[in-house]
Amino acid sequence: MTLDIHSARMLEELEPPILLDALKKMYLIRYFEEKAEELYALGKIHGTMHLSIGQEASAVGSCLALQPKDYILSTHRGHGHCIAKGADLNLMMAEFFGKAVGYCRGRGGSMHIADVDGGNLGANGVVGGGLPLAPGVALGLKMKGLPLVCMCFFGDGASVEGAFHESLNLAAVWKLPVVYVCENNQYAMSMPVTKGSAVERISQKASAYDMPGITVDGNDLPAVYLAAKEAVERARSGGGPSLIECLTYRWRGHSKSDRQRYRTKEEVKEWQARDPIVRFRAMLDRARLANPAELDQISEQARQIIEGAVKFAESADDPDPATIMDGVYA
Amino acid sequence: MPETTRELSYAQAVREALRQALASDPNVFLLGEDIGVYGGAFGVTDGLLEEFGAERVRDTPLSEAVIAGTAIGAAVVGMRPVAEIQFMDFITLSMETLVLQAAKMRYMFGGKARVPMVLRTPAGSGTGAAAQHSESLEAWFVHVPGLKVVMPASPYDAKGLLLAAIYDDNPVIFVEHKLLYKTKGAVPEEPYQVPLGKSEVKRAGKDLTLVATSIMVQRSLEAAEALSQEGIEIEVIDPRTLKPLDIEPIIRSVCKTGKALVVHEAPITGGFGGEVAAQIAASEAFDYLDAPIRRLAGLDVPIPYNRELERRATPQVEDIIREARLLAQGAY
């Protein structure tokens, strides 16, 4: 058995059931999104959605470093974060169907999926929308004396928004327990990161705030996990914020209207060959944590959960129109 | 109103509300630019840093988006932050976080989040600070579901409304007026709340209903006093909370007087006065109207620097007297 250094370290740190559960979460994300895409094409789900297929290692690896009560701020491409943080797939799918029992009672849909009680403060329809909130979440937790951290996800597009600067600066000067996770999937809609950002690595920007910055292979779950773990430990122990850049790629278009004229099919294929799920599964196989049949079973379980979620969501009730004003004010 | 003879300035009343909230609730904290050592650009938070320390009276860098965002984030995890934006003009730099995050978070998460935060900010012209330090932008926020908007006009209301805003579980935009900071009035020492969403009749009268906000309440009361000498009795009503608006006392008053004048400082076009006028016109008061509903508000102009030009950009006491007299005497 030969393992790369990240995988070897991760295997030393985490028990097999946790590693197998991480694989299951990746499958859940992949199948959830494939199903959502299919249901959208059938007209059963409306609106739009931003799929993170191909980015599963970034979401699962980062959240694997968190405690259940830690908080995340997610993005418009947030299905993976939601599942990685431990969402109930039935309630999540019900929200996609706009049902009353859905996480947001049919008010939010894909772009605002949130599980406040589970520590997910929501996907955000604004690019970089979570960034200004992150120091506040972390400050609130700190002032309450809770040993918790806030993990703030955002993309390469958000890294050039003004809010990025204000947020990282404040978190750094106040030494707040924030872990900034930039999922660099190479394109801000159609704008390549190479044309939209002056620096080669977004993690370089950390030096402007005197915080650690690291770029990792975002399709390599052990590499993401180890970087996140270090940043989370630093935040939790009072060391302040860190910036992690996960290099990854979205296989699908930006949203449902994308003709993808800004990239080639060859480029997409190149990245698909680095499928984070295939890689992590192969590592578990190599490490003999499970045999191929058992790994297939994990995949099959994930499929069943998604099928069950669709059944649950389809049979759930729509919100009563009389409740339209509920929730505007507390 | 609790009985008291103690007088405080409007700024002191705001400070006392902050002090009492800080003293009684560990979840309350302040953040903003220069609110600590400096005491706030208008001295409102003077002394609070010394009393409560730098953890709870937090000087921030010049980052308006993140000042608002930090208040929102802390509120969502159970704090009751009170943020200050140094001039209301600069709230433009906080707009995304207030409008797209604070206002919508509860609703778009299905009622499962609470955002109990207050954002205090001084508005208004009259200080010679010209176009970028003199605006009254309250109407923008009134237009956003999920926000509450409060504009106190007296020291008593400033303290009571601020305490109510701090203990409200929604994001509240609390608009103070720079020229009111030094005005004095009776303020009880003990903590009390003036409920949000309650208008108040500030002066009773039978000839004309005058609805005014913020500094225009003071100017309208002066105008009413002057017109009383001429035998014209004006009823002055202060909504105090612009959203949610308590329209009923206004409608009742217009049913009685048959005439309505709405006065505010912000530019007339798209201003809050249009909303008040529309709600009166759509109510049973319509049948009692003896004249068109009139609005007296700021000109559609950036606030100019020259002293006289600045005065002319917004309603002054003499303008209110003139307009109210014309309306009361049947000129329209």
Which helix (H) or strand (E) segment holds residue A6: the answer is helix A5-13
**Mean per-residue pLDDT of chain A:** 96
Cβ–Cβ gap A136/B148 under 8 Å: no
Residue of chain B minimizing CA distance to A106: B110
Note whether residue A214 is domain-resident: yes
The string of pLDDT tens digits covering residues A49-81 is 999 999 999 999 999 999 999 999 999 999 999
CATH code of A198's domain: 3.40.50.970
Q: What is the pLDDT along chain B (332 residues), one digit of tens a residue?
A: 556 789 999 999 999 999 999 999 999 999 999 999 999 999 999 999 999 999 999 999 999 999 999 999 999 999 999 999 999 999 999 999 999 999 999 999 999 999 999 999 999 999 999 999 999 999 999 999 999 999 999 999 999 999 999 999 999 999 999 999 999 999 999 999 999 999 999 999 999 999 999 999 999 999 999 999 999 999 999 999 999 999 999 999 999 999 999 999 999 999 999 999 999 999 999 999 999 999 999 999 999 999 999 999 999 999 999 999 999 999 99
Chain centroid, CA A197 distance in Å: 22
Cβ–Cβ gap B96/A163 under 8 Å: yes
DSSP annotation of A61: H
pLDDT of residue A235: 98
Place of tokens 């097999």: A16
Do the domains B200-328 and B7-186 match in fold? yes
Q: What is the CA radius of gyration of chain A?
A: 19
Query: Hey, where are the domains in chain B?
Result: 7-186, 200-328
pLDDT of residue A1: 64
Note whether residue A161 is domain-resident: yes
* Chain A touched by B146 (CB under 8 Å): yes
The string of pLDDT tens digits covering residues A293-317 is 999 999 999 999 999 999 999 999 9
DSSP annotation of A120: B
Q: Would you call A112 a catalytic residue per the annotation?
A: no
Containing structural domain, residue A175: 5-11+25-306
pLDDT of residue B1: 57
Distance between CA atoms of A108 and B107, rounded to whole angstroms?
8
Residue of chain A minimizing CA distance to B168: A330
The pLDDT of residue A221 is above 90: yes
* Chain A touched by B76 (CB under 8 Å): yes
In CATH, what is the architecture of B200-328? 3-Layer(aba) Sandwich (3.40)
Q: Would you call B133 a catalytic residue per the annotation?
A: yes
pLDDT of residue B3: 66
- The answer to whether A42 and A67 are in contact (CB under 8 A) is no
pLDDT of residue A2: 80
For residue B96, give how far its alpha carbon lies from the nearest alpha carbon of chain A (Å): 8
* Chain B touched by A235 (CB under 8 Å): no
Q: Structurally, how many domains does chain A consist of?
A: 1
The string of pLDDT tens digits covering residues A230-255 is 999 999 999 999 999 999 999 999 98
Distance between CA atoms of A114 and A291, rounded to whole angstroms?
35
Chain centroid, CA A125 distance in Å: 14
CATH 3.90.550.10 at B7-186, yes or no? no
Q: Which of B16, B33, B64, B138 is catalytic?
A: B64
Note whether residue A17 is domain-resident: no
pLDDT band at A256 (very low <50, low <70, confident <90, very high): confident
**Cα torsion A321, A323, A325, A326: sign:** negative
- The answer to whether B178 and B122 are in contact (CB under 8 A) is yes
Note whether residue A220 is domain-resident: yes
Q: What is the ipTM of this complex?
A: 0.95
- The answer to whether B144 and B234 are in contact (CB under 8 A) is no
Cβ–Cβ gap A136/B60 under 8 Å: no
